[in-house]
């Protein structure tokens, strides 16, 4: 699965480096991970595209961290993988992190695969752009692929500057024909075009300034490179989607104000995608009631709204109301439930995630995803039949 030369070179370099330095320094390391069998039932029966109404899957994650040079350097591997019963695209191994970092006093250097998250929102992460989303894993795009990069971080009292150079682009994975939920057509992996002549070898570039000013956490960012989101167009001869990755130039801002139990969040981007410029903004409020009804449990209420000036964008006028209930018990039981709705249309969806520790190294997850009424014109119409219940059991080691 190390699909390109760049990553392979880094891998070899790091392994040689690690081998050489491990003789000099006592190897100080941490390793941990989990494996997680999952099973899903699709309550509307077979899918729109004859997908199975039942699925099992095995997911795993392993993390290895080695501290080198008396803590001045660090080497990290964090890999995830899945073996899915039905979806070929969900049989993969991904190096989320495979990186070497070196720290000077004010400067940190990093080379390798990394996950970088920008932003503050719970639902609408519009500023976040560094990593490609794995849409086969999660249609909302929250699951990412490790991004190969070299980065420099410079920190001062007034804030931090991060510069990222990304020499290799990773195409977006979509569910395969058997996957569920999936788009109307399959995404044709043999018909991908780029605006950039360097294609996936285009050197993407990003810059971020972030700072904490008392109650405010702020970030300003700029990205120039292949858009992570392709334009999909149906090809009448193959009956598949062709993908085109335009060049994206995106300037973003993200702000969170933390005022006691209130969190105020705002993200906004102005972006030139191909030839078109657009503006989008998303933000919200989160309030937490602590110790409800004289118990240890907390109840958080989250409201977020997303706006996009492109009429064809699926998130052009969307809201979410969420509840986060943490029991703060010995089992760390918690429930996160959200109701997403299109403000202009009448499409809506409900999602909930419950989790509870079973014992020291077992944890149970139960996810519910229900589609309500969905407009035929809505982007999510193609997933209308895909309401599901998923049970997961993670075994930690």
Partner 1 sequence: MKIYSFLFILILTFNFSSFAETDEEIGLKIAKEAYESTRGYIDSTSEQLMILIDPKGNEVIREISGKNLENMDPNDGDKSLIFFNKPKDVEGTVMLSHTHVNDDDDQWLYLPALGRVKRISSSNKSGAFMGSEISFEDFSGLDYRKYDWKYLGEENYEGELCYKLESYPKYENSGYTKRIGLTDELLRARKIEYYDRKGDLLKTIYFEDHKLYNDTIWFADTFRVVNHQNDNSTIYKWENRQLNIGLNKKDFEKSSLMRLAD
- 357 near partner 1, judged by CB under 8 A: yes
- Restricted to residues 166-195, the positions that interact with partner 1 (CB under 8 A) are none
Per residue, the 3-state secondary structure of 177-196, as one string, reads CCCCCCCCCCEEEEEEEECC
Which of 154, 237, 119, 223 lies closest to 188 in space, CA to CA? 237
Write out the H or E segment, with its range, that includes residue 78.
strand 73-84
- 115 near partner 1, judged by CB under 8 A: yes
Q: Are 180 and 86 in contact (CB under 8 A)?
A: yes
Q: Would you say 309 or 361 has its CB closer to partner 1?
A: 361
- 212 near partner 1, judged by CB under 8 A: yes
Q: Are 320 and 303 in contact (CB under 8 A)?
A: yes
Residue 339 to residue 394: CA distance in whole angstroms: 26
Q: Are 137 and 188 in contact (CB under 8 A)?
A: no
Site string for partner 1, 69-108 (x = CB under 8 A): -----x-x-x-----------------xx---x-x-x--x
Which residue from 133, 151, 256, 316 is in contact with partner 1, where contact means CB under 8 A?
A: 256
Which of 349, 347, 341 lies closest to 371 in space, CA to CA? 349
CB of 37 to partner 1, least distance (A): 15
| C-alpha dist (Å) from residue 292 to 105, 297, 299, 335 | 45, 6, 7, 15
Strands of 104-182, DSSP E: 107-114, 147-156, 159-166
Residue 273 to residue 209: CA distance in whole angstroms: 22
- 353 near partner 1, judged by CB under 8 A: no
Which residue from 328, 366, 375, 381 is in contact with partner 1, where contact means CB under 8 A?
A: 328
**Could you give the 3-state DSSP secondary structure of residue 142?**
coil
Phi, psi of 123 (to 5 degrees): -110, -50
CB of 242 to partner 1, least distance (A): 31
CB of 74 to partner 1, least distance (A): 7
- 260 near partner 1, judged by CB under 8 A: yes
| Residue 216 tokens, joined | 């405010």
Which residue from 15, 329, 344, 373 is in contact with partner 1, where contact means CB under 8 A?
A: 329
Which residue from 38, 42, 135, 144 is in contact with partner 1, where contact means CB under 8 A?
A: 144
- 291 near partner 1, judged by CB under 8 A: yes
CB of 78 to partner 1, least distance (A): 6
- 388 near partner 1, judged by CB under 8 A: no
Q: Using CB under 8 A as the criterion, which residues of the chain lie in contact with partner 1 when the complex forms? A: 32, 34, 63, 65, 74, 76, 78, 96-97, 101, 103, 105, 108, 115-117, 120, 142, 144, 153, 155, 160, 210, 212, 217, 256, 258, 260-263, 288, 290-291, 296, 298, 328-332, 357, 360-361, 363, 394, 396-397
């Amino acid at each position: 699965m190390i699909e390109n030369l760049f990553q392979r070179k880094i891998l070899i370099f790091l392994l040689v480096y690690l081998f050489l330095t491990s003789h000099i320094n006592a190897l100080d390391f941490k390793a941990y991970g989990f494996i997680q069998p999952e099973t899903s039932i699709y309550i509307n029966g077979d899918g729109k595209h004859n997908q199975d109404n039942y699925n099992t899957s095995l997911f795993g994650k392993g993390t290895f961290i080695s501290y080198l040079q008396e803590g001045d350097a660090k080497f990290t591997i964090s890999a995830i993988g899945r073996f899915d019963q039905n979806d070929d695209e969900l049989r993969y191994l991904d190096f989320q992190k495979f990186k070497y970092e070196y720290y000077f006093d004010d400067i940190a250097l990093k080379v390798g695969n990394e996950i970088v998250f920008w932003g503050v929102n719970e639902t609408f992460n519009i500023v976040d752009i560094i990593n490609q989303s794995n849409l086969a894993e999660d249609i909302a795009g929250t699951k990412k692929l490790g991004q190969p990069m070299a980065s420099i971080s410079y920190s001062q009292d007034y804030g931090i500057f991060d510069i990222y150079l990304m020499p290799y682009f990773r195409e977006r994975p979509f569910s395969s024909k058997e996957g569920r939920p999936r788009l109307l057509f399959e995404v044709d992996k043999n018909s991908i075009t780029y605006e950039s002549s360097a294609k996936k070898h285009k050197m993407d570039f990003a810059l971020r300034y972030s700072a904490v000013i008392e109650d405010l956490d702020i970030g300003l960012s700029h990205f120039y490179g292949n858009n992570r989101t392709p334009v999909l167009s149906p090809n009448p001869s193959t009956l598949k989607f062709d993908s085109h990755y335009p060049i994206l130039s995106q300037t973003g801002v993200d702000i969170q104000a933390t005022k006691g139990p209130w969190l105020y969040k705002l993200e906004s981007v102005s972006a030139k995608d191909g030839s078109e410029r657009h503006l989008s903004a998303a933000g919200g409020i989160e309030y937490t009631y602590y110790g409800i009804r004289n118990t240890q449990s907390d109840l958080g209420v989250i409201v977020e709204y997303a706006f996009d000036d492109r009429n064809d964008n699926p998130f052009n006028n969307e809201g979410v109301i969420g509840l986060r209930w943490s029991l703060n018990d010995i089992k760390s039981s918690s429930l996160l439930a959200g109701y997403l709705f299109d403000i202009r249309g009448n499409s809506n969806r409900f999602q909930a995630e419950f989790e509870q520790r079973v014992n020291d190294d077992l944890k149970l997850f139960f996810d519910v995803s229900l589609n309500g009424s969905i407009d035929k014109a809505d982007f999510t119409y193609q997933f209308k039949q895909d309401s599901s219940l998923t049970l997961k059991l993670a075994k930690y080691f």
